[in-house]
A and B are shown apart, each in its own frame.
Chain A
Amino acid sequence: MRLWRLAPWRRAPWLVLGSPVTVLAVVVATAVLACALASAPLLLSSARSAALQEQLAPQCAEAARPATSVTLRFPPGTSPEVLAAEADAPRQIWTDLGREPERTLLVLASIGAAGNPQGGLPVRDARGTLLTLPANLLWRPDATEHVEVVASAGAQGVWLPASYAAAAEATVGESISVAGVAVPVAGVYTDLFDTGGGPYWCAYGELYLNAASADVPPPALLLATDEATLTAISSRAGLLVVTEAVPTRTADLTVEVARGLVAEQQRAARAVPEGKATTLLGAGENEQLDAAVERAELVEAGLRGPVVAVAAAAAVLALVLVAASGGFWADRRSAEVRLLAARGAGPGALAGKAALELLAPALVGAAVGWLAARLLVGGLGPADDLDPAAVAAAAAFGAAAFLAGLLAAAVVAGLRAHATVERPLGTAPGRLAAVPWELALVVAAGACWLLLESRDAIVVTGGVAQVNGLLVAFPVLAIAGAALLAARLGTRLLPRLRRRAARLRPPVFLAVNRLAAGPGAAAALLVAVTVPVAVLGYTATLTAGSQTTLAAKVGVQIGADRALISIPQVTPTTATDAVGTVLDRYDGSVVDDAGTATDVQVLAVDPATFAGTAFWDGSFADVPLEELVAALREPAEDGRIPVVAAGLPRGDVELRLGTLPVAAEVAGTARVLPGRRTAEPVVLVAADRLPEVPSAAGSDRQSELWTNGPEGPAVEALTDAGGRLGRSLEPADVLTTADFLGISWTFGYLSALAVFVGLVAAAGLLLHLESRSRSRVAGYVMARRLGLSRRAHLTSLVVELGAVAVAGLGLGALLAAGAVAAVHRRLDVDLLRPPTPLLDVPWPAIGLTVAGALLVAVLAARYAQAAADRADPVSVLREAA
């Protein structure tokens, strides 16, 4: 193509292709900007989806299903056909909405002779005897295929649970009466509480489990083989619950879709008509889905502040990089723009020329950035399921990045191109450069800190923990301000360093002189290493700390990974010792000299196995748990048995277990002891030294088996040791993980920003090296002739970049440590549960950061060396000075 024949505005976009490095610089810089902007709505959407999915995942499948549940009442004896027709109304509504619901029919009560509803259906056996236990009746598609079959006739009728069939002495094929309707026993199945039920029965636990009461069993669950059988029985019972639920996949459910489903179920519930033959007692909805959506939005709301702030900071940073790429264009096209400027082209005209030339790379960069954000959030974000609106918003941000980036690059290119001509040699920096404006960042950080002092660092709204935006703003501002100040001070020291380097070996001499010759670049590189390292160190430490603290709170509450609680007392056996430790928990009290009683939890433990199983963190006490437990073996003084306590001072105590006095001495103390489930002090005592506590003493006792292994073998050992599993206390019972996702994601995003800044720094470093390559290569070629070896030159590059990297790593680590020390005590996600925040330094992540920074420095040095090696000395010799 003969470019010179084209009009300038058509020629310009092609001209930039002559400088691939400029194209690369603009594409990368704009991509970084677009990625920073577009990632915010995508991350928020991803977090929303993940929060929703993580809430729904542990729940029954029905939790995610929009549903309409109607309760119909009608006169007993209503025609089954009429009843079936009116029960179809909810299904029709869902069908009209384009959904295919799944039906469940349930009869939980019947209208008695007095016209009042009575719980359960009356059942008479084949001999006409009324059974003591009433029954509930259920029909779901394929229900009988999800039970363990004891006997089956393969006919229509009802299936009885085995225990109920035994009580009724009913066998398959016999006829029993349910609510006065004779119905054949079509099958017998193993009681669901014996088999556990499985996922199919997950949402129906209350129909067969007796979770609420130990004394009154729930009605027996009869299964109708078909709708007609159930309708026939319910027509005589007078009550029917019809539930239509729309099957929904939870694995990729987004909030936007879920919100639509909630709206649909509200419309469906409102649309349920009054029946002609039935009375509509109520039309319910699936409230779990609505609650999960609200909670997910709460998590997102907590994230929005920090994410928007972080994205804005990243965008500003990226905009600086884009502007720098505009300056790079001006340098690369210096010959042409000097000529144009000399012929009267002003900054505006030169900016216009730059904009035309950089249009295509900026557009490509914005598209790449948007795509990168989409892929990064999809691959590394909390979930890959994004709302269409978020994707559209991200595209809009990408477009904004293109326009803002192009404008910034063009303006800087125009100004720099013009200034290149106007600026005299050796012009001193302006007064503005001497103003320590970075102090403003430090002051702003101080203001954030003061505000944070009077606010909660972690706000818990509706059970969902949200990070106060100040917890993000304070360290970012403080780190950036301190890094800039340190860089400014560092540049002041460079001339002195340069003088000292005069007597050092040539590689070091050259490295120091290169740094001293470009103090601005050296400072920028130092900040570019310091800030990501400090932010990464801060976020990684706080993330690890908050997770460790959460785990510790759970561990303290339970005592170990899992606690199996037994009502009958458990006697330790070899089997229980093999899976964990057995202890008895007593409600007790401590009476002081004034006679005031303080409630305590007394744990009678087995010193031989307790320390090996119980959850422990070194911060809980000044000595290891083993040492504390060993104190329980110390000889009794004055008849006082030694105990270890958290919340009580050392010395003699009058312990009471109900009315039983126990003279004890606190032989060891801890700040926190495992197994603390109330706010009361915890006292450990050796079980074999505690006197027998008669039930008449009135102290509540429960036996527990703490284990860090799987539940199955532990339950078996518990049962063999005379216990019976009342309930199993697990982490999910203590904390809902989804409630704390916002904290991890906030710091995760900040970590991503730090990595992003690191990438920007690496890109900036390459741009910087590239922009200096001409003078560097010319100097290198001559220096080789002067006697500089290639190895010495490479060493000088490694020393130059490595010194900045090491200084940045050291300074970054220092700033991170300062920021962590300032805030980590405030990061208590649950003030009610001990322990207070624990510090957990993520050494692997820090090691990776150090290695990454040093690797970038070495690779950049090798890149610069490779560029120098490619230089043609002849061109250096010929090049005009």
Chain B
Amino acid sequence: MSAGRAGVVARSLVRTFARGAESVPALAGADLVLTGGEVVAIAGPSGSGKSTLLAVLCGWDTADSGTLTCTGSLAGRRPAELTWAELALVPQSLGLVAELSLADNVLLPARLTGDLPAAERRGHELLADLGLTSVAGRYPHQTSLGEQQRAAVARALVADPAVLLADEPTAHQDREHADALLELIGAQARRGSAVLLATHDEQAWRRADRVLRMRDGRIDEGRIDEGRIPDGAPA
């Protein structure tokens, strides 16, 4: 991989939630290295900490302990500071703006950064690739959950992000659309992006460069390979 490619390195992440008097460890020392150009899939049962890991990685949540470092072209930056073009996200709830059409949702990142004219072509290509052209003008609530999910993925890809985090991106897709999605995500990785998928989809596992297993807040398999630690990451 190129030393300039963006990535994320997480070491010994711990995140505990209080549920009444009880403490629930969502992350219990999770380690992860995510580098540009690869697709990493994380599998694991519900409640194993996948979504919490994504929340910490994207900067929406903060670990109680451990370190989280951006690498490569993002070195020295904190996840919460990153722009959509640097770190894009497909959350489990999709997060589409209800008052915007699917097309406007997809193009919203470009509109907010003033890059709309340049992004319009890419956006419409993504809509076409994901079979959304016919419903592009509809509001999210006027479309199926699968269409909304594909729009959320298109919105993540439109900015050509350096890091892409996706929580169950194929959960509401039929096989055909799931494959199309995974193909686009794979293509994004091939363009140098670091992609992390939290998924139960075996097809996604097969297409991933690495598959990590998460259980009880730890990543059991695919522990950090010292030889693959990117430049700039702490040892």
Contacts and interface: CB of A to CB of B under 8 A. Distances in A.
B60 A877 contact: yes
A786 interface: yes
A881 B149 contact: yes
A396 interface: no
Given A788-B112, A876-B91, A878-B51, A782 B141 contact: no
A251 B144 CA distance: 71
B96 A779 contact: yes
Nearest to A787: B112
Interface stretch (A468-476, A513-521, A567-575): A513-521
B111 interface: yes
A70 B98 CA distance: 85
A94 interface: no
A426 interface: yes
Interface in B84-119: 84, 89, 91-100, 104, 108-109, 111-113
B31 interface: no
Contact of B95 (A426, A506, A778): A778
B92 A873 contact: no
Nearest to A509: B111
B200 interface: no
A873 B52 CA distance: 11
B155 to A, nearest CB: 8
Nearest to B101: A513
Contacts of B111: 506, 509
Contact of A518 (B61, B95, B99): B99
Interface string A506-538: 100110011011100000000000000000000
A215 interface: no
A114 interface: no
A514 B97 CA distance: 10
Most B CB contacts (10 A, CB to CB) among A514, A776, A877 go to A877
Interface in A776-807: 776, 778-779, 781-783, 785-788, 792
Nearest to B95: A782
B145 interface: yes
Interface residues of B, number: 38
A874 B61 contact: yes
Interface string A96-137: 000000000000000000000000000000000000000000
Given A518-B99, A783-B112, A786-B108, A877 B51 contact: yes
A142 interface: no
A881 B172 contact: yes
A506 B104 CA distance: 11
A880 interface: yes
Contacts of B104: 502, 513
Nearest to A781: B95
Contact of A783 (B93, B97, B145): B97
Interface string A321-356: 000000000000000000000000000000000000
A775 interface: yes
A213 to B, nearest CB: 84
A880 B112 contact: no
Contact of A876 (B93, B100, B109, B145): B93
Contacts of B89: 785, 877
Given A778-B93, A881-B93, A785 B84 contact: yes
Most A CB contacts (10 A, CB to CB) among B51, B89, B99 go to B99
B182 to A, nearest CB: 19
Contact of A425 (B51, B60, B91, B142): B142
Given A788-B112, A881-B94, A513 B142 contact: no
A854 B92 CA distance: 38
Contacts of A881: 92-94, 145, 148-149, 172
B167 interface: yes
B54 interface: yes
Interface string A760-782: 00000000000000011011011
A426 B142 CA distance: 5
Contacts of A517: 98-100, 139
Contact of A513 (B92, B94, B100, B109): B100
B97 A877 contact: no
A786 B99 contact: no
Interface magnitude class on chain A = 20 to 34
A641 to B, nearest CB: 78
A435 B131 CA distance: 37
B83 A425 contact: no
B93 A879 contact: yes
Most A CB contacts (10 A, CB to CB) among B94, B108, B148, B149 go to B108
Interface in A402-458: 425-426
A877 B141 contact: no
A880 B108 contact: no
Nearest to A879: B93
A157 to B, nearest CB: 96
Nearest to A788: B112
Most B CB contacts (10 A, CB to CB) among A425, A787, A792, A873 go to A787
Contact of B112 (A506, A781, A878, A879): A506
B55 interface: yes
A697 B53 CA distance: 113
Contacts of B99: 510, 513-514, 516-518, 779
B55 A787 contact: no
A782 B112 contact: no
Given A881-B149, A881-B172, A873 B60 contact: yes
A874 B141 CA distance: 22
Nearest to A786: B109
B55 A874 contact: yes
Interface in A477-516: 502, 506, 509-510, 513-514, 516
Nearest to B17: A874
B95 A876 contact: yes
A880 B92 CA distance: 6
A880 B167 CA distance: 11
A782 B92 contact: no
B114 to A, nearest CB: 9
A783 B108 contact: yes
Contacts of A879: 92-93
Given A510-B99, A513-B99, A877-B167, A786 B92 contact: no
A775 B155 CA distance: 18
B92 A878 contact: yes
Contacts of B61: 873-874
Nearest to B140: A775
A782 B100 contact: no
Nearest to B56: A874
Contacts of B98: 517, 775-776, 778-779
A776 to B, nearest CB: 8
Nearest to B109: A786
A502 B96 CA distance: 18
Given A787-B113, A881-B172, A425 B93 contact: no
Contacts of A518: 99
Given A785-B84, A786-B109, A874-B61, A779 B97 contact: yes
A877 B91 contact: yes
A880 B94 CA distance: 9
A506 B109 CA distance: 10
25 contacts: A425-B143, A426-B142, A502-B104, A506-B111, A510-B97, A513-B99, A517-B100, A517-B139, A779-B96, A779-B98, A779-B100, A781-B95, A783-B97, A786-B155, A873-B60, A874-B55, A876-B93, A876-B95, A877-B51, A877-B60, A877-B91, A877-B93, A877-B167, A881-B93, A881-B145
Interface of A: 425-426, 502, 506, 509-510, 513-514, 516-518, 775-776, 778-779, 781-783, 785-788, 792, 873-874, 876-881
4 nearest A-B residue pairs (beta carbon) = A782-B95, A517-B99, A779-B97, A787-B112
Given A775-B98, A881-B145, 8 more contacts: A425-B143, A779-B97, A783-B97, A787-B109, A877-B93, A878-B55, A879-B93, A880-B92
Interface of B: 51-52, 54-55, 58, 60-61, 83-84, 89, 91-100, 104, 108-109, 111-113, 138-139, 141-145, 148-149, 155, 167, 172
